[in-house]
Structure 1
Amino acid sequence: MKRHLLSALTLGLLAGVCGFANAADKAPAGKAASGIAIEYIDPSVRAQDDFFVHTNGKWLATTEIPADKSSWGAFHKLHEDTQPQLRKIIEDAAASAKDADQQRIGDFYASFMDEARVEQLGVAPIKDNLAKIAAIGDKKALPQLFAEFNRHGVTAPFNLTIHQDNKDSTKYVVDFFQDGLGLPDRDYYLKKDDAKLAEALAKYELHVAKMLTLAGDANAAVNAKAIVAFETDIAKIQWSKVELRDPVKAYNKYDTAKVGELMPGFDWNAYLAATGVQGKATYVIVSQPTYFQALDKVLADTPLATLKAYAQWQLIHDAAPYLSKAFVDENFAFYGTTLSGATENRPRWKRAVSSTEAALGEAIGKVYVQQHFPAEYKARMEVLVKNLLTAFKQSINTLDWMTPATKKEAQTKLAKFTTKIGYPNKWRDYSALTVKRDDLLGNVQRANEFNYNKELNKLGKPIDRDEWLMTPQTVNAYYNPEMNEIVFPASILQPPFFDPKADDAVNYGAIGGVIGHEISHGFDDQGAQYDGDGNLRDWWSPADHKNFKAKTSQLVAQYGAYSPLPGYQVNGELTLGENIGDNSGLAVAYKAYKLSLKGKKAPVIDGLTGDQRFYMGWAQVWRMKMREPAQIVQIKTDPHAPGQFRANGTMRNQPGFYEAFKVKSGDKMFLAPKERVIIW
């Protein structure tokens, strides 16, 4: 089951920076390190003109993106650093399992690494399913087919997920949402005047044809053309990424018995029965009802032969990473190279680790935290989070744009925040998952259905407040408004985000900024629509809405003026929530840092004041490089701005930055005080 929690706002991996030599390792005994990679500072670029390049310039000039990566930065570096650790955990399980979960881990990994068997099987693992689709005689079979695809994680024109009801957070609800495209965004199909997108679409059609040919389709070229035309028709009726950000607009409640009225030509009763939803839910949510209404006509107008070819293509695409080398190579040639710019596929063991993690992530994470997450890291993080929450509480009281009644509501929400650090209190039970050492694709499909059933079985049961949406070994963090919780997995608690050997300044600027970012998501343009119990409820006065809109509109304009590539602007509306998170989070982290000093003056280390190290800590986090095709995908799909703008764009709105680096009128980083956006 695909996760479709549009409101689960996470800190994105695409906006990352490269790791660096740990400055703490160079510090004299008994003296805190600065935590700043001073070897990467470019003194030829003034901090007042381009803070991102000043802090990271020598890294940018000397670092090459690895051949198997589309981008490179701190998130990616930490992810890569965890891979050998996870490999050892997994290979130890494969060699000598100590319990049933380790047996599953070892068997899954072994099935991926048995390349000889995968080559021998060729297309055989999907041949029966391809034949089953080919035998479909009329469109009455589509509800059953789409339901099977949903259960097995194969792309279909629409999908479903289970999450908390946005207007009754004590219940789980089924949510249906648009899906079905093989390219990253509808713009790839619709923006005919964009030469790069048009080229990607043409190459996509060739790729579809090649994959169909590998699977034995004698009419691959004709079918590929029809498939792309069908996906284009779907793209035309889909909501944009900006429209998808509105949780109120996406909350459309239907009685289960009447949801079929959206698509009279589609047998929803048969579909709901096949998905297992029938009888488990009296009502459902439809995120984009106009899409479903329009899809009914698209399905009616599209020839059955095209729909069957489309289904076969999506089945092949989903299975490709687990089939023979010909499928793997062609899949990478398009998605890895054409769309992302990477020139080499990842080594097989890394792909095996990723797939094993996708299936058994928490079972691996349980061992990972035992081996790689010291208890003192969690204790220090708890102090940081406490200080950030205190600073945010104080910040609310000083706001000049929010009315007293709404400030009271904001304080109530903040007081109800839940913090999760490192790893879950309760580990996931994998006893119902069957893994076979000689059945790679079967293992993947069973894992997908296992996850689907886990979600489906939530219906009618109490909310599981111990659940995590990420594994401990994930280099990321998130805020979930339905739970009103901030979550920080163990793997992000490493340099440059968190350096236990460094002075507090860099840690407050880095992981403190990340903590503040996630707290701020509870009060960004989406998160602020939820109350402290996780319900969509308008707790703002008209005056608050007006003042907030004025500030956020200014932020949209600021970021909309940034351009990482000629002809491609940052989408200020799509990235608004993350930009609020960055700007507000860093401002609150700065206040928390000042509170931590308790009136004392921070030491000068490496010639840098505490305030300078604080802001450079933030800029280091967003050090990154990205290949052009991947940058285009990010601009079109990612709610995060590119790394250089997460650094510079945020700095230009921070009063403390101006003081720390003596930024004045005429400097390129300068914004007049009336143009600076300060929200929380």
Structure 2
Amino acid sequence: MTDREARPSTDEEHAPLLRSSEYDDIPNGTSHPSFGERVNSIAQEPLTPLTKILLVLGLVLLLTSSIFIGLFAGAQHRLSLEREEGKHTTTVTITATATATTTSNSVSITTSTAISTTTLVPPPIPVPTTLPEEKPCLESHCIVLSASILSSLDPSQDPCENFYNFANGGWLRAHPLPADKSSFGNFEFLSQQNQQVIQRILESNYSVGSVDDQILTKLRDFYTSCLDERRLNEIGTTPLFHLVRTVRKLYSGNDTDITGQSTYGIDKKVQGLTAAVAFLHSRRIGALFAFEVEGDVGVDPNHMILWFSQPELGLPSKEYYEEKSTRNVYKRVVERLLIVLADEDEAESRKRTISAPEFVDNEDPNVWPPWPWPPWGGDGDDDKPTTPINRTEEAKKLAKKVVKFERKLAKASLDLDILYQDPIATYNPVPLSNLVDVLPEIHFPTYFSTFTPRSFPDRIVMTYPQYAASLSKILNETDSNVIEAYLVVRAALNLSPYLGMGTEAWQAHRTLLETLTGIKKGAVGDRAEYCVNQVENTLGFAAGRYFVNETFGGDSKVKGTKVITDIVEAFKESLKDIDWMDKKSAKAAAEKADAIRVKVGYPISPDTRDPRSIARYYGAVKVDKNDFFGNILSSATSDEFKKWLQLGRRRDLNSWEMYPSMVNAYFNPPSNEIVFPAGILQPPFFAKEWPNYLAYGAFGQVASHELTHAFDSAGRLYNQEGKLVQWWTNYTSNGFQVKQDCIIKQYSAYTIDDGKGGKIHVNGNLTSGENIGDTGLIQAYRAWKTQYHVSEKAGTEYLLPGLKFTRDQLFFISFARIWARAMKPAAAVQRIRTDPHSPSRYRVDGTVSNIPEFAKAFKCSKKAKASQKC
């Protein structure tokens, strides 16, 4: 080793853990040349021609590579900008230099440099890996459902400003209001579909079994009697006249002696009025007052007693009696009905004169009429010449007096917002003797004997005690002939719709209907549709048996019930977060929610599953396929007597107030139950194969609405046993009142067009309970969210094709769609005055404005209408 050789360091590792194979053949003890030494050695060697060629090729390759690197970086930059705007970029200059140096005289030093400048995007910040994009359901039912939703929307509307139009604008354009209807929406649309199911059953000839065949025969005969318009027109007004003749005969009190006292020792006038009113009530024709049989909510909600209340009127509400134009129309209708019945009476008299001329003196009490009718027919003194009577003028005068009489009854009646919304003000239990003393014009023992000959109440509830006193005064200051005419008109208005359309009575009633609802004059709907509706209204539980068999199979009841019970659980869970409700009241509210009876699909009293139960229930209803008018009366009488049979008994907790095919639902405070017929568990409210976000949005709204009624302005006053009692603390009641006042103020600010260039405000007091019920939508939303992780795993939260909305947004869209409705201005005005529900538009827009989750789902600004929360 020479002095110039460096001594290897003693720290240098000569045996790496893993050796490279290229050094395996080097002798031991020989040192490895460094990378720099090898490069320098090559550089000192003379370049051969081959080396020169390779060097030039390398320089060209390096230059080409640099160009491709620049192009690739630019392409990457453009793609990055498309994927994500706004990211920072960096400009990079790429320089490639190749140098060849030789000591040979024949080759000088050669240097080549390639420069490429481009903009590069720095590598993205690592993010968590996301799941692959969900694929929507492409099965036929999913496509149809998606198309239905898309077609109902109006994307030009801002959901944060007008969600009702956004969700329903397309549907409203595609479903113009039919000329024969005053209102038409998704409720009516579904009702038509349900009726078509029943119609197919009624028009079929299939046989099920002996008992079922008896039921189907009754249903089909009733339907046939309604369809026979030719026969109805041939019969004319005769059926109505015979009923009115009975009313007149009873009112006249013919079974009295010469002293003017009846054989029962009752004043003749009192007995006559009592008998006539009882007869009308037994046919479910309202007059003077009304009795209902309901639980004694102050003592025992399941003990059924009598409730005395105000009657239904010829016009929908007391406001109509203050409108001169409406009064004038009503007077003309009353006048026409009185003349029609007088004409019928005259025709009957001529027939009797021809067939039995010996009775022309009209003295025999068995010959009708036994006293002068109509009232303008003379004074009955044969010794004086009779002055010819202008029947039209006399009818006009009498009609005016009848309307004036009704107007007094309307003024004496309780306002509907109190009648519907204040159960404490309308619960006034008194001994029966109080009513007897206040209203002596009616002999109540005689009246009750019409319905319950073996049971007489000793205690009743008066919804408005002052009405009885006012009625007594009105009766005493009204002429007897006016009261009689009033009773006749009540019968005519109730029953003339069941006559032939060619009769004057039917047409008179139709005129009033067109005025009050705005239906186009002369526009009459399909007769079959009308007749199926009559079958439902009169024999609904019988028809419901076959409707349920056709439409409510599989697990529909199970899934529908789960939606309801999920909402009940969500409600109970939310109680702890209500700032105005203390723990004591929250505990009681949870107990009431637990105690609510949930009824879904169909009743068991009568038992829809048992044809014998149905047959027994309608055993008293006599049906003749040639007598539609008589069938209506038979059904009405049967229903009325069923009602009175409950008096003094325990409530039948299995009974329903709605038939199975009905598109509706209800909450009954005294029995603490929520009821959902199979009729509403159909699209667009519910379908067992729907994704849950739609089912909880649509049917969930219906379920949560009825649940919330248990805690609304009226429902909250009943405890879990249905008893009217203070079960909230004062602190909680006061807190609730603040919220209720806000709701009342909110909805009272909403208006509708009256069709005459004016505006009418919603009655926030009348609608407060229903508006609070609508806010229950938040419970449906919470219930859906709570079960979401389970339903997602089960595959019941699948997406639909073509819908660019989130599931949360579709939940609210599904809710809004059920309220699509077109309505005539006149019908809308009537609804404002009489209906405790707000107009459909405000049932949507008013509701979502009180739910923060809606504003979040649609990203509404705080200034948007949908963000103006109560």
User: What is aligned with 1:106?
Assistant: 220
User: What is aligned with 2:777?
Assistant: 586
Q: 1:308 aligns with which of 478, 484, 488?
A: 484
Deviations 1:228-272 (A, max 9, x none): 101101011110111102111111112234421221343233323
Of 108-117 and 381-390, the range deviating more from structure 2 = 108-117
Cα shift at 1:62: 4.1
Is the aligned partner of 1:156 residue 2:287? yes
Q: 2:676 aligns with which of 465, 484, 488?
A: 488
User: What is aligned with 2:330?
Assistant: 204
Q: 1:284 aligns with which of 441, 460, 465?
A: 460
Q: TM-score, normalised by structure 2?
A: 0.71
Contact 1:150/1:275 (<8 A) preserved: no
Q: Distance in 1 between matches of 2:312 and 2:665?
A: 28
Distance 1:117 1:29, change over 3 A: closer
**What is the letter of the counterpart of residue 282 of structure 2?**
R
Contact 1:200/1:339 (<8 A) preserved: no
Q: 1:60 aligns with which of 172, 175, 180?
A: 172
| Structure with larger Rg | 2
Is the aligned partner of 1:248 residue 2:380? no
**What is the letter of the counterpart of residue 108 of structure 1?**
F
Unaligned runs of 5+ in 1: 1-23, 191-196
Q: Distance in 2 between matches of 1:279 and 1:417?
A: 32
Of 649-658 and 428-437, the range deviating more from structure 2 = 428-437
Deviations 1:366-412 (A, max 9, x none): 01101121232111112111211110110112211111111111111
Distance 1:467 1:541, change over 3 A: same
Deviations 1:404-459 (A, max 9, x none): 11111111111101111111123242122222222222221111111111111112
User: What is aligned with 1:76?
Assistant: 188
Of 114-123 and 247-256, the range deviating more from structure 2 = 114-123
User: What is aligned with 1:235?
Assistant: 410
How big is the alpha-carbon RMSD for the aligned residues of Structure 1 and Structure 2? 2.3
Q: Which has the higher contact order (CA 8 A, sep 6+)?
A: 1
Contact 2:517/2:824 (<8 A) preserved: no
Is the aligned partner of 1:328 residue 2:506? yes
Q: Distance in 1 between matches of 2:235 and 2:217?
A: 24
Deviations 1:488-535 (A, max 9, x none): 111111122113333211211111111000000000010011111111
Q: 1:632 aligns with which of 826, 829, 850?
A: 829
User: What is aligned with 1:10?
Assistant: none
Q: 1:293 aligns with which of 450, 455, 469?
A: 469
Cα shift at 1:277: 6.9
Cα shift at 1:342: 4.3
Q: Distance in 2 between matches of 1:309 and 1:60?
A: 44
Q: Secondary structure at the match of 2:752?
A: coil
Q: 2:156 aligns with which of 30, 44, 52?
A: 44
Cα shift at 1:604: 6.0
Q: Secondary structure at the match of 1:420?
A: strand
Distance 1:159 1:63, change over 3 A: same
Is the aligned partner of 1:378 residue 2:557? yes
Distance 1:413 1:95, change over 3 A: closer
Unaligned runs of 5+ in 2: 1-135, 253-267, 344-390, 607-613
Q: Distance in 2 between matches of 1:494 and 1:279?
A: 43
Deviations 1:8-58 (A, max 9, x none): xxxxxxxxxxxxxxxx99756889965861123222221121111112223
Q: Secondary structure at the match of 1:254?
A: strand
Distance 1:552 1:432, change over 3 A: same
Contact 1:32/1:501 (<8 A) preserved: no
Contact 1:93/1:105 (<8 A) preserved: no
Q: Distance in 2 between matches of 1:128 and 1:374?
A: 46
Contact 1:156/1:314 (<8 A) preserved: yes
Q: 1:26-45 alignment to 2 at 5 Å?
A: 27=139, 37-45=149-157
Distance 1:347 1:331, change over 3 A: farther
User: What is aligned with 1:339?
Assistant: 517
Is the aligned partner of 1:670 residue 2:801? no
Contact 1:603/1:609 (<8 A) preserved: no
Distance 1:49 1:577, change over 3 A: same
Cα shift at 1:574: 0.4
Of 310-319 and 256-265, the range deviating more from structure 2 = 256-265
Is the aligned partner of 1:178 residue 2:310? yes
Distance 1:316 1:351, change over 3 A: same
Q: Distance in 2 between matches of 1:126 and 1:382?
A: 46
Q: Secondary structure at the match of 2:304?
A: strand
Q: 1:259-658 alignment to 2 at 5 Å?
A: 259-276=435-452, 279-325=455-501, 326=503, 327-343=505-521, 344-427=523-606, 428=614, 429-565=617-753, 566-583=758-775, 585-598=776-789, 605=800, 606-658=803-855
Q: Distance in 2 between matches of 1:122 and 1:604?
A: 58
Distance 1:110 1:577, change over 3 A: same
Contact 1:36/1:613 (<8 A) preserved: no
Q: Secondary structure at the match of 1:346?
A: coil
Corresponding residue pairs, total? 643
User: What is aligned with 1:20?
Assistant: none
Q: Secondary structure at the match of 2:405?
A: helix
Q: 2:242 aligns with which of 128, 144, 147?
A: 128
Q: Distance in 2 between matches of 1:241 and 1:29?
A: 45
Contact 1:562/1:569 (<8 A) preserved: yes
